[in-house]
């Protein structure tokens, strides 16, 4: 059985490692190529896009893929839509592996928004020194907020356009609670902006913000295409695949 994993996440790497240990499976992980030095998963790896849903459908046919698992980032909406269209065209079973959303607890000061643009609009009323943890490709939404200071954290250096007062912090998770506390204090952060990525690797910033009374502007994740079956963890994906091959 040939399994294609649309990856790039921690869960995708864990899934690839587990499946690649099974000699009955051929496992290929596809990475978008947006990170200069990605952490490569076990099994075969391809890097780069497919050329939209039709290109992905062609690849599924040519490589005789038996199952497609979308384990991309919860905000990789275009890839997920392409996967749904391609799987339907080629009649390949599709599963989405999505870590659960974060859930606020007592003491959190969350301000949910629907987009980065809405996040930018909310900032002037909330703070002046912003910890921006939405990735290097979304900084353009915050240009024009020249009176605010932004600390932008990303794996690779972002490219313009970006806000006038921007300091870049290059780092890769998982992050620790002590480390996140130190970042907020050292840079005198009074508002945090993040996407609802879920998972434990980047959650400590939410705890640190709660402890320090820092408000959090949190961008809601996009919905998956209708009809796509979803599991919340690697064990669920392995079980789905086992049932598929039974």
| Whole-angstrom distance, CA of residue 73 vs CA of residue 198 | 10
- State how far Cα 89 lies from the chain centre: 26
At 184-222, the pLDDT tens digits run: 999 999 999 999 999 888 899 999 999 999 999 999 999
Contacts of 150 (CB under 8 A, 6+ apart): 130, 132, 139, 142, 162, 163, 165, 166, 167
Residues 6+ apart with CB under 8 A from 109: 209, 210, 213, 214, 215, 216
Sheet holding 216-219, edge to edge: 110-113, 216-219, 191-195, 129-133, 149-154, 166-170
In which residue ranges of the chain is pLDDT below 50?
Answer: none
Residue 157: its pLDDT value, please? Answer: 92
**What is the value of pTM for the model shown?**
0.89
| Chain-centre distance for alpha carbon 222 | 11
pLDDT value at residue 246: 56
Q: What is the pLDDT of residue 30?
A: 96
Do residues 8 and 246 touch, judged by C-beta distance below 8 A?
no
Give the integer Cα–Cα distance in Å for 138 and 156.
13
Retrieve residue 120's tokens. 């930018």
- CA–CA gap between residue 154 and residue 168 (Å, rounded): 8
Tell me whether the CATH fold assigned to 2-100+224-245 matches the one assigned to 110-219.
yes
Q: Which CATH number fits domain 2-100+224-245: 3.40.50.1000, 2.120.10.30, 3.40.50.720, 3.40.50.1100?
A: 3.40.50.720
In the chain, where are the structural domains located?
A: 2-100+224-245, 110-219
Topology of 110-219 in CATH?
Rossmann fold (3.40.50)
d(CA 22, CA 138): 39
Rg (CA), the chain: 19
């Amino acid at each position: 059985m040939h399994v294609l994993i649309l990856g790039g996440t921690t869960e995708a790497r864990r899934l690839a490692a587990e499946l690649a240990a099974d000699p009955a499976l051929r496992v290929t992980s596809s990475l978008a190529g947006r990170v200069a030095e990605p952490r490569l998963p076990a099994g075969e790896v391809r890097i780069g896009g497919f050329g939209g849903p039709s290109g992905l459908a062609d690849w599924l046919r040519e490589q005789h893929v038996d199952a497609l698992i979308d384990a991309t980032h919860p905000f990789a909406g275009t890839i997920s839509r392409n996967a749904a269209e391609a799987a339907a065209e080629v009649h390949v079973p599709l599963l989405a592996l999505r870590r659960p959303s974060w859930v606020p607890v007592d003491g959190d000061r969350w301000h949910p928004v629907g987009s980065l643009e809405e996040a930018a609009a909310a900032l002037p009323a909330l703070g002046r020194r912003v910890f921006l943890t939405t990735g290097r490709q979304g900084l353009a939404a915050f240009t024009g907020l020249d009176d605010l200071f932004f600390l932008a954290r990303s794996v690779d250096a972002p490219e313009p356009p970006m806000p006038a007062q921007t300091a870049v912090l290059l780092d890769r998770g998982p992050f620790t609670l002590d480390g996140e506390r130190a970042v907020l204090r050292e840079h005198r952060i009074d508002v945090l902006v993040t996407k609802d990525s879920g998972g434990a690797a980047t959650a400590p910033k939410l705890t640190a913000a709660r402890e320090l009374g820092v408000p959090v502007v949190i961008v809601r994740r996009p919905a998956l295409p209708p009809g796509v079956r979803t599991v919340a963890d690697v064990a669920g994906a392995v079980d789905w695949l086992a049932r598929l091959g039974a």
